[in-house]
Amino acid sequence: MNASPLTPIPEVAMPHSDADPLRDPALYINRELSQLDFNFRVLAQALDANVPLLERLKFLCISCTNLDEFFEIRAAIVRHAQQFGLPPGPDGISPAELLTRIHDRAAQLVEAQYKCWNEVLQPELDKAGVHIMHRAQWNAEQNRWLRAHFRNEIMPVLSPLALDPSHPFPKILNKTLNVAVVLKGQDAFGRSGHLAIVRAPRSLPRIIHLPEDISGGPNDFVLLSSVLVAFAEDMFPGMEVKGAYQFRVTRDSELELDEDEMENLASALRHELSDRGYRPAVRLEIANDCPQEIVRTLLQNFELTENAAYYIDGPVNLHRLIQVCDLADRPDLKYLPFVQRNKLDGDNLFDVVGERDVLLQHPYDAFAPVTELLRQAANDPNVLAIKQTLYRTGSNSPLVDALVLAARNGKDVTVVVELRARFDEDANLGVADKLQQAGVQVVYGVVGYKTHAKMLMIIRREGKKLRRYCHLGTGNYHSGTARFYTDFGLITADDDIGNDVHMIFQQISAMAPETKLKRLLQSPFTLYKEILRKIEREAQLARAGKPGRIIIKINAINEPHVIRALYAASQAGVQIDLIVRGACTLRPGMAGVSENIRVRSIVGRFLEHSRVYWFGNDGAPEIYCASADWLDRNLLRRVEVAFPILDQKLARRVHEQALLNYLADNTQAWRLDSSGEYRRVAPAPGEALHSAQGTLLAQI
């Protein structure tokens, strides 16, 4: 099976007709446009005066990074669809029309981002004593220092290239800073100048921190792009510089691996990664004062049309400003720090988990118990084997170190490393190499299916029997993001769950057949079918006059069968609340179809990342935490796991804190209406302010 994003989605056997009114394209929002709209909600945080100023700058930068990734992946996939003549999706929008809509909506977002920077954040930062200084603000002393810095520290590593028949347009690396310099005159060889390209190596810092003795303050900064433009004439002595214009190109970064044809995934991936930075271009960002003749030259070189050009009123990569948040010594302009709970600190975790399940709610609970569990397992003579999945772990992961230690201590260690975790491929290749060198058995997952499940299993001898200890999570095994992402992790010694996890590992590593699991729901086998079955069960309850209730918290939803099932349940009278952080293609509040469905999105200090499914089940509610969103890829083309919260006390905690708490939020919530618009939720007159994240922080 080819893992291309264009792989046709297999349909579950469900009775339907081509005339099914729930297939009407008017009932569906386009996924790509919905994803773009999420970034407007992120940008709104940058404009929120209640958010600390440097944190507002971070939100601006995050919206820019998200837009980069959108073009690298989502827009690139739409271009592929257009090239291959693929039909429209459930929303009925053709790929060609969608590309036009993407350009128009993205242009609105870019305009809003630069308006936020130029008219709001930069002036407010100036007032607060944090200065990102453009050329017009440099005094004579600063200008002299910057020119000397340019000549001594920057110019020696630059390789300006004047374009002529013997110097063709250079290769431009994805998302790098470049300057197009318009020249007049002749050089030492008598060559007439016209256009030169200056590429800024990635080794150069994009933010220059001015020394306090020449700036007058400790928090004065200059962008590298400003310096390159200001001193362009130094790079072309004897030539007249008529203009210098920064630009940046974004390239298609979706790797195309035909897994049916390859013999070695790691080797093929390394080859693909070496070319990723120079794949076809999808977007050109260019200074808005650049002459059209130069813009046309750049577009022609990158084989782009005018609707791929975005004109920039400021630095071409606002994301680089995020460095200022770390460089500026202004804790008063940041969120107050908090200390995560770690109630298991110093405990023998096998003793604790042997008696009861442990639920971790990140970032309010520390990730340390997961790392400590693995460390204790590595050193425990009774532990015989460890199995784990790794999707994203970060560099210098303490978990990887513990796995290496376990292998060196004689444990049988098997790790499923998902090499195709987008933008972490190179890091995961390094993790795989490190583990293999330590004697860990490394598995690269299943051909055609990314392994996205978050599972850790420890097999320990206790007396005359073996016992399995498992950790299952909604987020990655990444101790860094566990401080900024909301996620759940369950540590349990439940026999049924342990047996299910064991069988899934067998499927991944040993080509075992599909087996019936007792507790866990698994993609691509049972999760999809069970979601549909549980939605239909609530609909049947409602049709019988009983309360039907569904509450779901996920990051995105687009799977058309699931959406149609939710529509049908709404028509039956089921009350449905969806807490969807990002893209949502379901259209709520439509008369006769989805008037019983409400969709909200929470955007706040922490990235909402946990997935929780709750079904009322006629007074015997079922609640699952999961690694899977309700996207077609997660439900049909990935290895995912949903795990039940069996301990009733813990189940109530998840229901109250991750669902009801979020439905009550009236400060950081956005409500999706039937038109596809998101509107900020505001407290009703006399209603107390309620922040879901703030409430959980206050409980630490």
12 pLDDT higher than 60: no
Q: Indicate the helix (H) or strand (E) that contains 455.
A: strand 454-462
Pair of tokens at residue 32: 């790509």
Residue with tokens 């759940």: 488
Question: Residues 158, 200: contact at Cβ < 8 Å?
Answer: yes
Q: Which domains does the chain have, with CATH numbers?
A: 136-260+279-318 (3.30.1840.10), 349-516 (3.30.870.10), 523-698 (3.30.870.10)
pLDDT digits (tens, 9 = 90+) for 205-241: 999 999 998 877 899 999 999 999 999 999 998 888 9
Better-predicted residue by pLDDT, 349 or 194: 349
Over residues 568-577, the pLDDT tens digits come to 999 999 999 9
Task: Quote the percentage of the chain above a pLDDT of 70.
Answer: 92
Query: For residue 30, which of 648, 666, 587, 612 has the smallest C-alpha distance?
Result: 587
pLDDT digits (tens, 9 = 90+) for 382-416: 999 999 999 988 778 999 999 999 999 999 999 99
CA angle 11, 13, 16 (to 5 degrees): 90
pLDDT at residue 234, rounded to an integer: 93
**pLDDT 10s digits, 607-655:** 999 999 999 999 999 999 999 999 999 999 999 999 999 999 999 999 9
Q: What pLDDT does 262 receive? A: 44
Say what the pLDDT of residue 1 is. 32
- Judging by beta carbons within 10 Å of its beta carbon (0-12, 13-18, 19+), is residue 373 exposed, middle or buried? buried
pLDDT given for residue 512 in this prediction: 72
Computed over every residue of the chain, the mean pLDDT equals: 91
pLDDT at 525 > cutoff 50:
yes
Q: Give yes or no for residue 367 having a pLDDT over 80.
A: yes
User: At 11, is the pLDDT very low, low, confident or very high (cuts 50, 70, 90)?
Assistant: very low
Angstrom CA distances, 518 to 356, 462, 526, 626, stand at: 19, 23, 11, 16
Of 92-106, 181-195, 525-539, minimum mean pLDDT range: 181-195
Residue 29 has pLDDT above 60, yes or no: yes
User: Look-up: residue for tokens 């220059």?
Assistant: 208
What is the spatial distance between Cα 390 and Cα 427, in angstroms, rounded to a whole number? Answer: 11
What is the separation of C-alpha 250 from the centre of its chain, rounded to a whole number of angstroms? Answer: 17
Query: What is the Cα–Cα distance from 34 to 601, expressed in whole angstroms?
Result: 12
Percent above pLDDT 90 for the chain: 81
Q: How far apart are alpha carbons 155 and 602 in whole angstroms?
A: 46
pLDDT value for 5: 33
337 CB neighbour count, 10 Å cutoff: 6
Active site amino acids = 452
Q: Is the pLDDT of residue 533 over 70?
A: yes
Residues 6+ apart with CB under 8 A from 347: none
Q: Are the beta carbons of 157 and 240 closer than 8 angstroms?
A: no
* pLDDT band, residue 302 (cuts 50/70/90): very high
pLDDT at residue 600 above 60? yes
User: By C-alpha distance, which of 486, 526, 457 is closest to 654?
Assistant: 486
Which whole number is the average pLDDT over 52-70?
Answer: 97
User: Which DSSP state fits 574?
Assistant: -
In angstroms, what CA-CA distances link 98 with 440, 456, 556? 46, 41, 19
At residue 270, the pLDDT reads 61
Report whether 318 contacts 61 (CB < 8 A). Answer: yes
pLDDT given at position 238: 82
For the stretch 463-506, pLDDT in tens is 999 999 999 999 999 999 999 999 999 999 999 999 999 999 99
Q: How far apart are CA 155 and CA 237, in angstroms?
A: 13
Token pair listed for 99: 């590309």
What pLDDT is attached to residue 188?
54
Q: Which of 214, 194, 236 is nearest to 144 (CA)?
A: 214
